[in-house]
Amino acid sequence: MPAQDFQTLVAELEQRGWLRRVRVEVDPILEISEIADRTVKSGGPALLFERVRGSNIPVLINTFGTKQRMCHALGVDDFQQLADRVKALIKPEMPTTLLEKIKKLPQLIALGSLPPKIVRRGICQEIVHRDDADLTALPAIKCWPGDGDLTRNAYAHVTQAMRSAGGRDSDDALRQATNTSSKSAISVTEGSELAREYFGEAGFLNHGPETTGNATAGHPKSEIRDFKTPNLSELLPPRNDGRYLTLTNVFTKNPHTGERNIGMYRVQVLGPKLAAMHWHMHHDGARHFRMHRELGKRMPVAVSFGGPAVMPYAATCPLPPGIDECLFAGFLNGGAIELVPCVTQPEIEVPASAEIVVEGYIDPQDAPVIEGPFGDHTGFYSLADLYPRLHVTAITQRRNPIYPTTIVGKPPQEDFWLGKATERIFLPLLQTIIPDIIDYNLPTFGCFHNCAFVKIKKEYPYQARRVMSAIWGAGQMCFTKMIVVVDAHVNVQDENEVLFHMLANCDPRRDCVITDGPLDILDHASPGCGVGSKIGWDATRKWPAEGAVRTWPDELEMSPEIRELVTRRWKEYGL
């Protein structure tokens, strides 16, 4: 069974020799990241830093940095065990006899126990900081040298806003940012939702300081309500030393239905009670923010760390909107996740066994704040941009907590195994949408969204193209920039084997499909932010109906009898 809190997980990892304690003092600014980067790339242990400069809270990192540790956190020996459970859940065999129905009862009872359970108290609230809450007291790490450096890796509109706000009267700066010469330096298609609204052609900065509402492309002015018109200087972060909360569980709710969402979003520390919430327009947290903004209501938010060992993974799962990650966590956990209402944001519940919880709210009337840059999982910095302000109302914690964190960067990193778990566990779900798929692989170098290798049993012409289109229409798989489809005998987990068949079987003009659509916001190569082209390669054996096909030769393969003979005599050869 998975560990029910991170203190137990640490003890289990240490007992198995999978965790190393670092007892010398280390700096959360870059030093921890460099140590962790070297450790994860060498397949090393989880690291518990007991003495972190500037904080009395130990830091845990690289918790999930190997397949072995990721499986242990999920309570299984192999990801396939969970995939089999998912498959049984979505394709249950219906009992036909009384005996079969009786045998089915334990499974039905178990399913009924999976929804989260609300409790009155939790160890995450053993110590409560309200007025004395201080984000800067947490050992938040700076991951990469350019994190928070606004002199580089910033969108043009951010650079322009900083120049316009610096050292001038705010009204004059606003006029300067809206005149013709300034607009030419600001892209209206780049950046976050808020950046497009503030700096885009339909944004209020281009309507002058007298505007009280806001409109953006596709959103009539009446739908975007009650924005305060900021001075450009208000967009500047009061503090920006590049420190981030990373291995987060960010809890939000749909204000109409009360449906819960948990996402793993980065949060930049900007002061004792101020942070920047980074989420992309495709994320459920951003969708909840838009709903609160349309209602003109403050949005309660909680950021928890730790809790049941399955929670960090559950927060990264690509579940459909409206599916509670806590319910899925209960499925992974083998029992309900206990949640406790927040102290100052009681609409939001968090894991009762969490190590630390940051409570707060986002006010939709606030001006956004410049967040970033941040060294991301793509191996490049994501550019500084405008994101919502998170106001901290309380920080609660258990006694003697551990602060879990992670770094992302050039793969492989710890997040690779979170992604690989999703690849394996969600294969049965993907197969319900696209039954043609036998297996798939999201290779390390693809950074999750850039590449997918897909295996099918080919039964008709252009089947590979149908599968590509289906993948580009399947939830977050829509961001996949390159798809390679191969035949059933190809091992998609062997990347060299896939590339061999791709180069051997493909004619670019006949077998390449290029289309346009949404892309990962972090894809800096795309011509537009979050949109661009994708490519599909049909690397299957071609059929006559698929265009000009010459005589197709047989692939080299040794006879089974000789393979068996050589295997049997191998020791005789003295090799």
Classify residue 219 by its DSSP letter.
Answer: B
Q: Can you tell me the distance from the alpha carbon of 336 to that of 36, in angstroms, rounded to the nearest whole number?
A: 33
Taking residue 188's Cβ as centre, other Cβ atoms within 10 Å add up to 17
Burial bucket for residue 415 (CB in 10 Å: 0-12, 13-18, 19+): buried
Taking residue 548's Cβ as centre, other Cβ atoms within 10 Å add up to 9
Q: Pick the range with the lowest mean pLDDT from 72-81, 136-145, 317-326, 510-519.
A: 317-326
Structure tokens at 469: 């289109």
> Which DSSP string corresponds to 345-381?
-TTSEEETTEEEEEEEEE-TTS--EEE--EE-TTSSE
Amino acid at 218: G
What is the helix, strand, coil percentage profile of the chain, to 5? Answer: 35, 20, 45
Q: Pick the range with the lowest mean pLDDT from 18-32, 215-229, 236-250.
A: 215-229
Taking residue 49's Cβ as centre, other Cβ atoms within 10 Å add up to 30
Q: Model's pTM, two decimal places?
A: 0.85
Q: Kindly report, as residue ranges, where domains of CATH 3.40.1670.10 are found in the chain.
A: 434-546
Phi, psi of 207 (to 5 degrees): -110, 0
Q: Kindly report, as residue ranges, where domains of CATH 2.30.110.10 are found in the chain.
A: 117-145+241-404
Contact by Cβ (8 Å): 340, 109: no
The pLDDT score that the predictor gives to residue 164 is 73
User: How big is the chain by its Cα radius of gyration, in Å?
Assistant: 26
Q: Can you tell me the distance from the alpha carbon of 61 to that of 10, in angstroms, rounded to the nearest whole number?
A: 11
Active-site residue among 147, 284, 324, 376? 376
* Model confidence pLDDT, tens digit, residues 369-411: 999 999 999 899 999 999 999 999 999 999 999 999 999 999 8
Structure tokens at 184: 């030419």
* Model confidence pLDDT, tens digit, residues 45-59: 999 999 999 999 999
Nearest in space to 267 (alpha carbons), one of 418, 392, 417: 392
174: Cα within 13 Å, side-chain hemisphere = 20
* Model confidence pLDDT, tens digit, residues 158-197: 887 777 766 333 444 434 443 433 444 444 567 888 888 7
List the beta bridge partners of residue 154: 384
**Annotated catalytic, 376?**
yes
Using the predicted structure, report yes or no on whether residue 204 has a pLDDT greater than 50. Answer: no
Contact by Cβ (8 Å): 391, 274: yes
Residue holding tokens 């956190």?
A: 73
Instruction: Identify the H or E element spanning 26.
Output: strand 19-26
Tally of residues, the chain: 575
412: left (phi over 0), alpha (psi -120 to 50) or beta: beta
Q: What CATH number was assigned to the domain covering residues 434-546?
A: 3.40.1670.10
The pLDDT score that the predictor gives to residue 224 is 40
The pLDDT score that the predictor gives to residue 218 is 39
Structure tokens at 152: 């580089």
Which residues neighbour 8 within 8 Å (Cβ) at sequence distance 6 or greater? 309
Q: How confident is the model at residue 533 (pLDDT cuts 50, 70, 90)?
A: very high
Contact by Cβ (8 Å): 402, 306: yes
Structure tokens at 461: 């012409």
User: For 117-145+241-404, which CATH class?
Assistant: mainly beta
Alpha helices in 95-169 (DSSP H): 98-112, 156-165
